[in-house]
């Protein structure tokens, strides 16, 4: 059965070995992102005052770690690869640093924006794109985790709607500051080229030019992620004329 699952990952267009490498690189990004998410939720738990909020943040952290474990299992069972996270990968390290620096300032709001708004929106959209292209159990794994991450986004929307209602101008100003740091990093991650050099996760050269061999492209990831992000901001109540201008300035 395991060998049959591995054969499902191969298809005409390039060699089975090349497709396995591509999917391994995709999973390495997902696994690292989930572990970073878990660390961010653990940081949120330290910042919350109320026991119920601390508990919820820790539940979310456990969920992110479980997602990473499921992605690892997919790599092992479907690809025959043992894929580990790399928390020093440049883009993910920058995102983690954005949370840590704000936590040191006791900026709970800023940490929530990074993790629950930006990273979760990015995860939902990018996992849905991958799920649409990945074969068999690999695709169903990405789809299932995308649905679970969407619950985190829904939680963030409800909370941030209340926060913005208190002072829309202050909210939007703070949001823009976080956006210019974190969304710029995420946009670079799925840009045509890597401004910061090698991502630290691809086993060989950058996987992005090879993604069409497995049914999707970096531009599709970028487009879907930004659309989801704009949709989330719209649901929170941030004016579209502002957010469209913000997104237009992101790296391509």
Q: Report DSSP letters for 178-246, one per residue.
A: HIIIIIHHHHHHTSSS-TTS--S--SSS-SGGGGGGGT--HHHHHHHHHHHHHHHHHHHT--HHHHHHH
Distance of CA 185 to the CA centre of its chain: 11
Q: Looking at residues 18-40, what average pLDDT do you find?
A: 96
Q: What confidence score (pLDDT) does residue 4 get? A: 39
Instruction: Report the C-alpha gap between 5 and 150 in whole angstroms.
Output: 27
Residue pLDDT, tens place only, 134-167? 999 999 999 999 999 999 899 899 999 999 999 9
Q: What confidence score (pLDDT) does residue 59 get? A: 96
6: pLDDT strictly greater than 60: no
Q: Report the chain's terminal Cα–Cα distance, integer Å.
A: 42
Quote the radius of gyration of the chain (alpha carbons, Å).
Answer: 18
Q: What is the largest CA-CA distance in the chain?
A: 57
CATH class assigned to 2-248: mainly alpha
Q: What confidence score (pLDDT) does residue 65 get? A: 98
187: pLDDT strictly greater than 80: yes
Q: What confidence score (pLDDT) does residue 116 get? A: 94
| Band of pLDDT at residue 122, cut at 50, 70 and 90 | very high
2: pLDDT strictly greater than 60: no
Q: What confidence score (pLDDT) does residue 70 get? A: 97
Residue pLDDT, tens place only, 53-98? 999 999 999 999 999 999 999 999 999 999 999 999 999 999 999 9
Q: What confidence score (pLDDT) does residue 138 get? A: 95
Q: What confidence score (pLDDT) does residue 167 get? A: 97
Structure token pair of residue 4: 């049959």
| Band of pLDDT at residue 1, cut at 50, 70 and 90 | very low
Task: Decide: 61 and 114 in contact? Cβ < 8 Å.
Answer: no
Q: Looking at residues 208-215, what average pLDDT do you find?
A: 94
Q: What confidence score (pLDDT) does residue 200 get? A: 87
Mean pLDDT, all residues of the chain = 92
Residue pLDDT, tens place only, 11-27? 456 788 999 999 999 99
Q: Looking at residues 175-184, what average pLDDT do you find?
A: 96
8: pLDDT strictly greater than 50: no
């Amino acid at each position: 059965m395991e060998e049959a699952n591995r054969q499902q990952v191969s298809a005409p267009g390039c060699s089975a070995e090349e497709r396995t490498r591509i999917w391994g690189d995709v999973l390495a990004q997902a696994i690292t992102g989930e572990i970073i998410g878990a660390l961010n939720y653990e940081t949120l738990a330290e910042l919350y005052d109320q026991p119920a909020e601390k508990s919820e943040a820790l539940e979310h952290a456990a969920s992110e770690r479980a997602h990473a474990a499921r992605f690892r299992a997919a790599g092992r069972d479907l690809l025959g690869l043992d894929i580990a996270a790399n928390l020093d990968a440049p883009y993910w390290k920058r995102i983690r640093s954005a949370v840590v620096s704000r936590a040191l300032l006791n900026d709970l709001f800023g940490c929530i924006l990074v993790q629950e708004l930006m990273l979760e929106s990015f995860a939902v959209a990018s996992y849905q794109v991958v799920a649409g292209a990945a074969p068999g159990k690999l695709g169903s794994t990405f789809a299932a985790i995308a649905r679970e991450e969407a619950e985190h986004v829904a939680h963030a929307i409800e909370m941030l709607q209340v926060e913005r209602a208190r002072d829309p101008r202050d909210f939007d100003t703070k949001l823009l500051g976080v956006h210019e740091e974190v969304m710029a990093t995420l946009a670079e991650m799925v840009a045509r080229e890597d401004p910061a050099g090698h991502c630290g996760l691809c086993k060989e050269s950058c996987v992005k030019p090879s993604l069409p061999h497995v049914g999707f492209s970096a531009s599709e990831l970028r487009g879907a992620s930004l659309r989801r992000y704009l949709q989330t901001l719209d649901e929170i109540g941030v004016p579209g004329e502002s957010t469209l201008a913000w997104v237009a300035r992101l790296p391509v």
